[in-house]
Amino acid sequence: MTERLNPNDIAKAAALLRAGHLVAFGTETVYGLGADACNADAVAAIYTAKGRPSFNPLICHFADARTAFKYVTPTQLAKTLAAKFWPGPLTLVLPRTPNCPVSLLAGAGLPTLAVRVPAQATALQLLKHFGGPIAAPSANRSGRISPTTAQHVLAALNGRIAAILDSGPCAVGLESTVLDLSGPTPVLLRPGGISLEALEAEIGPIQHATTALHAPASPGMLLSHYAPTLPLRLNATSLAADEALLAFGPPLPGANLLFQLSATKNLAEASARLFEALHLLDAQSPAQGLARIAAMPIPLTGLGLAINDRLTRAAAPRDKM
Ligand code: TXA
Ligand code: MG
């Protein structure tokens, strides 16, 4: 059985991690499935619990930038972005330091490491208490919808992990933005909780990863990902009788089951509710005789880029997993 811990149990959660166990914990983005990043067996257990392809590298979480930059070598841009956006939903891919003790498996054997400092009080306390890097992918089964509540985590991983540290729902609700700073120019590997516009305002133009160039390096770019069980249709402007509605703004007529992402078309609100919406529509549709989910169009600006990224992958043909 997976033990439920609360924010008073930080010491216990840290002790479990130190002993090589898996502990899920809340961050501002989504719940992470944490392990001691320097313990190869513990990291291997993450891949097993998630059913994750072993080539997909994990993000290492730190209590602060000073600690993170002992494990990777920061560029000037990295220092600028860390000062501006950490703690926060930004992950930086940087070269490992020569004697970096993080298990090679955590980085899937790459010469780089993805690092971030989460903006969530309980997560930061856990990281401080633990003292070293915690490797943590999203705490869901590989390819499925990311978890934004402790409930979501338990539904997918109960019994497969030692404990979950319940810190309530995640405020941002979308994974961190992943930016590769290890090459000559910055490359956006995954849109996320910090918008491209906000990053470009600090450091100038950012190249978009092309699947052909970066897919092997960042398999989080796999086409089918974040997928509900039911098929998902994008940019719906009308609704079929067997469809549940993922609404953004005034809902399309005729929905028997709908989840409103944001009545006022607020993209931050929609981000925070996106995965909750997919979990709920997926769970409740069959009982209502509904077989598919239709999503209304969402603009591609600001956090809309990340929302559309997740929806596109959730809608992709499942044989592309
Ligand atoms: O918000 C988040 O980032 C959450 C929370 C728990 O922090 N974590 C998360 O982890 O989303 P995960 O494992 O689901 O996604 C990590 C992404 C993947 O797309 C992976 O391919 C990419 O980061 N990544 C990790 N290390 C990398 C590296 N060295 N080079 C390129 N991409 C990397
Ligand atoms: Mg994930």
Ligand 1 atom at minimal distance to the Cα of residue 193: 1
CATH class, 232-320 region: alpha beta
59 Cβ inside 6 Å of ligand 1: yes
Query: How far is the C-alpha of 139 from the C-alpha of 161, rounded, in Å?
Result: 10
CB 38 within 8 A of CB 145: no
**Is 176 touching ligand 1 by the criterion CB < 6 Å?**
yes
User: If we measure between CA atoms, which residue out of 313, 307, 292 comes closest to residue 236?
Assistant: 292
Q: Six-digit token pair at 176?
A: 């961190």
Question: In sequence order, what are the beta bridge partners of 94?
Answer: 113
CA 82 / ligand 2 centre spacing (Å): 22
Q: Does 219 sit in the ligand 1 pocket, CB within 6 Å?
A: yes
Report the C-alpha gap between 69 and 14 in whole angstroms: 22
Which ranges in the chain are annotated with CATH 3.90.870.10?
9-208
Region of 107 (left: φ > 0; alpha: ψ -120 to 50; beta: rest) is alpha
pLDDT at 211: 58
* Helices and strands, counts by H and E, the chain: 10, 15
**Ligand 1, atom nearest to 178 Cα:** 23
Establish whether residue 113 lines the binding site of ligand 1, counting it when its CB lies within 6 angstroms of any ligand atom. yes
Contact predicate 119/87, CB 8 Å: yes
Ligand 1 site, residue 178, Cβ cutoff 6 A: yes
- Which residues have CB under 8 Å from 220's CB, separation 6+? 56, 178, 189, 190
Which residues have a Cβ under 8 Å from the Cβ of 124 and sit 6 or more positions away? Answer: 63, 87, 117, 118
- The DSSP output letter for 146 is P
Residue nearest to atom 1 of ligand 1 (CA): 175
User: What pLDDT, on the 0 to 100 scale, is given for residue 83?
Assistant: 98
The sign of the CA dihedral 35, 126, 114, 174 is positive
Q: Is 136 in the pocket of ligand 1 (CB under 6 A)?
A: yes
- Give me ligand 1 centre to Cα 134, in Å: 13
Ligand at minimal distance from the CA of 53 is 1
Residues 281, 287, 288, 292: is their CA dihedral positive or negative? positive
CA distance 249 to 264: 6
CA of 106 to the centre of ligand 2 (A): 14
Q: Is the CB of 93 under 6 A from ligand 1?
A: yes
Best residue among 178, 190, 271, 310 to mutate for probing ligand 1's pocket (most ligand atoms within 8 Å of CB) is 178
Ranges of the chain with pLDDT below 50: 212-213, 216-217, 219, 320-321
| CA 269/CA 265 separation, integer angstroms | 8
SS3 for 201?
A: helix
Ligand 1 atom closest to the Cα of residue 182 is: 30
pLDDT of 52 reads: 78
Homologous superfamily (CATH) for 9-208: DHBP synthase (3.90.870.10)
Supply the residue whose CA is at minimum distance from atom 33 of ligand 1.
218
Coarse DSSP helix, strand, coil percentages of the chain, rounded to the nearest 5 percent? 35, 20, 50
Contact 290, 257 (CB under 8 A): yes
Shortest-distance Cα residue to atom 13 of ligand 1: 137
* DSSP H/E element including 84: helix 76-85
Number of CB atoms found within 10 A of residue 150's CB: 23
